[in-house]
Every structure is written in structure tokens, then in C-alpha cells.
Chain A
Amino acid sequence: MAALSAFQAWMSDFAEVIGQNAEHLTDLDRAIGDGDHGSNMTRGTSKTAALAEAEEFDNSAAYLKKVGMTLVSNVGGASGPLFGTFFLRLGGALGDAEDIDAATFGKALHAGVGGVLARGKAEVGDKTMFDAWSPALEAYDAAVTDGGDLQAALQAAVDGAKQGRDATVDLVARKGRASYLGERSKGHQDPGATSTVLLLESALRTLA
């Protein structure tokens, strides 16, 4: 499979899913944040989805870096720099790889999530998107170790991310705007962890 076209399909699918879930994301954000996660993400993903038609890219790395910068430039809030940094690092790690397999993508995924961590400085349990990223990465690695292909690894990542996302419900937020609520942030699912699951589900549909 040519990596570039798969990544472009990923972004196109992700934009569609964000559009469909925008209201849900905004509702989650209204409960413990400021009620704009859906509209902010939509603004960014509609731009990234249009990139493929607007210009030619030499390789996946160039495309994914552009996706990252586009998210940084259009999403705003904390999600812009966080998702943006994820794609910048993901692209950087892929380099000029033509075909993606479980190992190549895993290496890139580690770099991307490392970027999220460096930028956001969150830890597991802070009730942020990292609570979905971290178990996703672990499950992905475990699947690869077990000899799984990209499809199996991404499926494992999605399952891990979902568990992490669901676990955010019972957590007290310690980072981001929800942290101002203290105990009152309990009982609500984290919007960033929710959109992270959407991104990985979209990857499973398009990359594997």
C-alpha cells in the first residue's frame, strides 16, 4: 500500500468522523471545560482534509507535517498544539518510508505520542488525552510483540484507547481547564481522550 494515499484517506475519514461527533465532543467539553472542543476540532480537520486536493506532497512525512502545522494553525486551544505536535512528530519519524507496516508505524506512533507528552506534560491519570494515548501505545506494542500485523496492532490500540477513555470518567482532572473543577470533574468523560479514540478508530479503518 502506498503510505501517502492511506494517510490522506485517514485525514479525510477523521474529518468526517469529527464532523459527525462535533456536538458530542462539545457537550462533553461543556460539562468540564468551555464547550468548544467539537467546533475547534472541526475547524482544524476540515482544513487538513482539504490539503490533499490543494497541493501535491512528495511523501508521507511532508504530508503529515503539513497536517500537524495545519492543526496548530487552525484548532487553537490546547488541542491544536497537542494534536498538531502529534502529527509533526509522526511525520518526522516516518521519514521517507514508502510502505507502512506495524513496526514502522509503531515507531512513528511512539514519536507522536512522545510529542504530546513533551508539549502537554501530562501523566496517566490526569484526565487528559494522554489517558487514551498511553494504553493505546502499550496495547499496540503488545500486539506487535505477539506478531500481529498493522490491522491487529491498530485494533489493539483502539481497544486500549477506549479503555483509557472510559477510565477518565472516574478521574479527577489535574491538567487543563477541567482541573479547575477539582472533584466536580468526576463523572465526566474527557473530551480530548474521546477525540483521540476517534483518531485511532479512523486509523484502523484507513491504514490497515
Chain B
Amino acid sequence: MKKLINDPDNVISDALQGIAAAHPDRIKVDHENRIIYRTDGPREGKVGLVSGGGSGHEPLHGGFVGVGMLDAACAGEMFTSPVPDQMMAATKAVDGGVGVLHIVKNYTGDVLNFEMAAELAEAEAGTEVRSVVTDDDVAVQDSLFTAGRRGVGVTVLLEKIVGAAAEDGATLDECFNLATRVNEQGATMGMALTSCTVPAAGKPTFELADDEMEIGIGIHGEPGRETKKLAPAKDIAAMLTEPVVSDLGLAEGDTVIAMMNGMGGTPLIELYVMYNEVAALLDAAGIKVERNLVGNYITSLEMAGCSLTLLKVDDEMLRHWDAPVNTPGLRWGV
């Protein structure tokens, strides 16, 4: 294992020290509870947005704390959900008197811990909490026979769009409804060229031969839907685009936000190669990309690979997308 770390046990606390040192203008860190807060909260009358999850997906979620996005993010252990104590502390701290929205990625651990936190926060502090659970990964069959689709790329777009709505004075119900709509209208498909190594484990989470790729990968180094022989970017783009387009039922004339996301170990030049192929496929299908993001936004440590997220947008979502945002991971309009 070759990593830029001091000690496998201290990676997360060292990184939180780093994010605090790098962005004191936008965020502050409660190191004891491992919570990242925006510097100017809570604001009276504003719905608080709290998210969080396992570490190793940076910039998600801590990198999306700031004006126009999250009020707080709880950092769990590597690839492991944070615990209810963290979520409760964050929820109470960002409550501006009009309720708090929890943004939870659909993993059993995250859902159970956020559920316990919401119950406790309501019982102890009387804070009204609503939760939206993102489940946009089309690689996982949504049926009674799985834990349901995983929450992946749409989470980034949702935090931006609902963050802007909350900044704009939307009520808790309005935030929840918008978040639900974003989750329903967005879908993601990912792939990996390599596995990744959790520092404490010291060895790769799964094995992948030099000439193989994993299609339908999640963001925790868990194996995906199927292992295939490596193919040209053009073919991989089709393998990602087709299931997303068909899942959303996108048709000629529809407008989307497209995110070509890197898994952490893929250079930007390859993400642009992939974006080019995806854009061509969408163009050929008459689907208009209104906005896009190309880069590493929801990652899986040093895994090489990418995911494609498409979100079918309307004017309201686009307006919130374009609104100012000032976080370590996303910044425009300020």
C-alpha cells in the first residue's frame, strides 16, 4: 500500500485538520465529533441541510458545505456510516427554527444511523427532521431482493439544488419535495478500472485483472454488476449512457444536467474523453445537456473509473443550479 498518509488510523482526523486549514473562510470543523459546518450558520428561518456518510468519497460531503449547499456534513470512518451522535449534534447545531433536512445515501448503515439520529433529535431537542434517501444507481436492481438502489452521483446534484432552494427561503416541506423530485429524475451508472485500498485494511477490496473492468460499480470498492474485458471509451460510454437514459425514460427534446464523475484515480483528460463520447450519444438521441460537471465529485478513494449521472431538469432546478455556491468543492456565482 502506497499512500500519502502518516498512520492508517489517523487519515480522517488528519484530513479534517487539512480541510479546516485550507478553507477557514467557508467552513469550520468540530474535530471531536467530526462535523464540518459552514462558518455563517445557523441562520434563523433557514432550513438546515445535513448530510454525511463514510469518508473516502471526497469532496462529498464535507467539500460541499458552505453558502448555497450544505450546512453540515458528518464524516464517518472510511466507507462506514457516521454514528447517530454526530448527526444529532449537527442537526441541533444547524437548526434555524424551521427544521432540518437529512440527505442520506441509500446504504443500510447510513439509513439506520440517520433514522436513529432523527428519532433522537426530535425526542431530545424537538427539531423537526425530514429525510430524503437518494437511490439513483441503476446498476442495482430495485426490488424486494436487494437493499434497493445505492445513492451515488445524484446526491451531489441534489445537495447543490436543494441547498440553493433552502438559501432562498424554501420551507422544509418544499425542500423535501424538491429533493424527492431530483432523486426521482436523476440516475447514475458507474464503472471501475481498478479496485481501491482502505488504509486500515491495507489491501485492495477486490481483484481486477489488467485487461478487465467492473461495470455497475458502487463507491465503496464493492464489486459491481459484472466483470468485462476492457473496451474503448466509446463502448464504455454507451454501457453507461444507455441504462441511465432508459431508466429515466429520456426522449428527444428532454433537457438534462450531465455529470461525468471521476472515481478518484482517473485523470481529468480521460474524463473529458468520456464526456465527449457521452455528449455525442446524448446529442444523437436529441437530449439537450443544459449544464454539466466534469471532475471528481463523489469518489471511491484511489479507484480508477467514472460514473455518469443524468438529471432531467426543469426551470426551477436550473435556476437553483445556477444560484451562487461557495464551498470547497463547488464554487460559482460569488
A→B interface (CB under 8 Å): 26, 30, 33-36, 39-40, 43, 72-82, 119-120, 172, 174-177, 179-182, 184
In the complex, the answer to whether A34 meets B79 with C-beta atoms within 8 Å is yes
Known: A36-B201, A179-B147. A184 touches B223 (CB 8 A): yes
Name A's interface SS: helix
Residue of A nearest to B116 (CB): A81
Question: Is B83 a contact partner of A72 (Cβ separation < 8 A)?
Answer: yes
| Docked-complex contact A81 and B113, CB < 8 angstroms | yes
Q: How far is the CA of A77 from the CA of B265 in the complex (A)?
A: 25
A150 CA to B81 CA, complexed, in Å? 36
Chain A binder among B20-28, B90-98, B104-112, B277-285:
B104-112
Partner among A43, A72, A175 whose Cβ is within 8 Å of the Cβ of B147: A175
Best-surrounded residue of B84, B220, B222 (most CB of chain A within 10 A): B222
B59 interfacial contact with A, CB 8 Å: no
Given contacts A40-B80, A179-B145, contact A78 B109 (CB under 8 A): yes
* Chain B residues, CB < 8 A from A80: 81, 83, 109, 112-113
Question: In the complex, A76→B112 CA distance in Å?
Answer: 10
Query: Which B residues touch A26, using CB under 8 A?
Result: 201
Give the docked Cα–Cα distance between A79 and B77 (Å).
13
Cross-chain contact of A176 among B54, B83, B108, B116 (Cβ < 8 A): B108
B80 to chain A, nearest CB (A): 4
Q: What's the minimum C-beta distance from A198 to chain B, rounded to whole angstroms?
A: 20
Do A175 and B108 have beta carbons less than 8 Å apart?
A: yes
Asked if B260 lies at the interface with its beta carbon under 8 angstroms from chain A, I say: no
Binding site for A on B (CB under 8 A): 54, 76-85, 107-109, 112-113, 115-116, 139-141, 144-147, 150, 198, 200-201, 205-206, 218, 220-223, 225
Q: Kindly list chain A residues whose C-beta atoms are within 8 Å of the C-beta of B85.
A: 72-73
In the bound complex, do residue B113 and residue A76 qualify as a contact, i.e. CB atoms below 8 Å apart?
A: yes
* A152→B100 CA distance, assembly (Å): 50
Cα of A35 to Cα of B54 in the assembled complex, Å:
13
Which residues in A have their C-beta under 8 angstroms from that of B145? Answer: 172, 174, 179, 182
Contacts of B218 on A, CB cut-off 8 Å? 180
Contacts of A172 in B (CB 8 A): 145
- List residues of chain B with CB within 8 A of the CB of A74: 83
- If the complex has contacts A80-B109, A179-B147, are A34 and B222 also in contact, measured as CB distance less than 8 A? yes
Alpha-carbon distance A34/B200, docked complex (angstroms): 12
- CA–CA, A69 and B54, complex, Å: 20
Please tell me if the beta carbons of A33 and B222 are within 8 angstroms of each other in the complex: yes
Q: Assess the A72–B221 pair: CB atoms within 8 A.
A: no
| Of the residues B112, B115, B221, contact of A35 by C-beta under 8 Å | B221
Asked if A75 contacts B222 (CB within 8 A), the reply is no
Known: A72-B85, A77-B80. 11 other contacts (CB 8 A): A36-B198, A72-B83, A72-B84, A72-B113, A76-B82, A76-B109, A79-B109, A80-B83, A175-B108, A179-B146, A180-B139
Contacts of B140 in A (CB 8 A): 180
B-side contacts of A36, CB under 8 Å: 77-80, 198, 200-201
A selection of 6 A-B contacts at a CB cut-off of 8 Å is A36-B198, A72-B85, A73-B84, A76-B77, A77-B81, A120-B112
Q: Which residues of A contact B198 (CB under 8 A)?
A: 34-36
Which residue on A lies nearest to B145, using beta carbons?
Answer: A174
Q: Give bound CA distance, A120 to B147, whole Å.
A: 11
Is B82 a contact partner of A78 (Cβ separation < 8 A)? no
CB B135 to nearest CB in A, in angstroms, measures 12
Determine how close the nearest CB of chain A comes to the CB of B220; give it in whole angstroms. 4
CB of A180 within 8 A of CB of B146, answer yes
Complex CA distance for A204 and B145, rounded to whole angstroms: 34
Residues of B within 8 Å of A184, CB to CB, are 223
A174-B144 contact, Cβ under 8 Å, with A26-B201, A74-B83, A180-B150: yes
**Chain B residues within an 8 Å CB radius of A39:** 77, 200-201
Assess A119 versus B112: contact at CB under 8 Å? Given A34-B205, A35-B201, A175-B147: yes
CB-based contact B109/A72 at 8 Å = no
Contact assessment for A75 and B83 in the assembled complex, using a CB-CB cutoff below 8 Å: yes
Q: A34-B205, A36-B201, A181-B223 are in contact. Are A176 and B147 (CB under 8 A)?
A: yes
Interface centre among A34, A72, A176 (most CB of B within 10 A): A34
8 residue pairs, one from A and one from B, having the closest CB atoms: A77-B109, A81-B112, A179-B146, A78-B109, A76-B80, A78-B108, A34-B220, A77-B80
- Max chain A Cβ within 10 angstroms of own Cβ: one of B82, B141, B223: B223
